[in-house]
Amino acid sequence: MRRHDIVRQVPVIATLILLCACNGSGSGSVSAGTGTLRIHLTDAPIDLSTVQSVNVTLTGVTVYPEESSSPMGMATETAPISLLTFPATFDLLTLTNGAKTLLASGEVPAGTYGRIRLAISDAVLVNKDGTSVSLKIDSNKVDVPNRFQVSVGATSDLTLDFDAGASVQVNQTGSGQYILRPVVTPVP
C-alpha cells in the first residue's frame, strides 16, 4: 500500500474505533446514558467576623528614590533611605473606616521617589475566643510602587492601605495553615 493511501484511511479507522467505543459494547466502567458534570471555581476569603485582631510586625520601611540625571546626562542612582529600623507591631483591624496610624517618618532628600518597601517579621491572627494563630509569611518584603515627590522644606504625607481581608488566606491544600500574603496599595 502506498503512503498516500494509508494517510487517507486513518480518519476512517479512527471513526470506526470511536463508533465501537460509543455503542456500549466495550467493557469500560462508564454505563450507558448521560449525566451532568459541573465544575466550580471559587475564591473563598477568610471570614474575619470571628477575628479580633491581625497583628503585623514591621521591621523596616524603606523608600527608593528614582534615578536622576547628572549634568553630563548620566543616570545617577541614589541609595534607598530607611525610615523604620526597629520592630513595630500594628493591629490591621483597628485601622479601618478612615482610621490610620503613623508607620514611619524621617528626613529624606528632596526629590522624586518610586517605591516603598515594607519588611515584615511576624504576623499573628487573634480570634475573639482568645486563641491565636501564627501566620506563615509568604514574603517578608513587600514593594509598593508609588511615585511621589518630596519638596524642600515641606512635609509630604502618604497613606498605605494594608488590606487584612485580602492578605490573610487559608492554605486549603495543606494543613489548613493561615498564610499572610501582604496586599498593600497606596491610597490616592
Residue 44 pLDDT grade (very low, low, confident, very high; cuts 50, 70, 90): very low
Whether 56 has a pLDDT exceeding 80, the answer reads yes
In the chain, where are the structural domains located? 48-186
Predicted local distance difference test score (pLDDT) of residue 55:
94
Q: Which residue is it, cell 536622576?
A: 68
Q: How far apart are CA 41 and CA 169, in angstroms?
A: 16
Predicted local distance difference test score (pLDDT) of residue 107:
84
Residue 123 burial by Cβ neighbours in a 10 Å radius (0-12, 13-18, 19+)? buried
- Backbone dihedral region of 5: left (phi > 0), alpha (psi from -120 to 50 degrees) or beta? alpha
For 8-36, the pLDDT digits (tens) are 444 444 443 344 444 444 444 444 555 56
Predicted local distance difference test score (pLDDT) of residue 2:
46
For 107-130, the pLDDT digits (tens) are 888 888 999 999 999 999 999 999
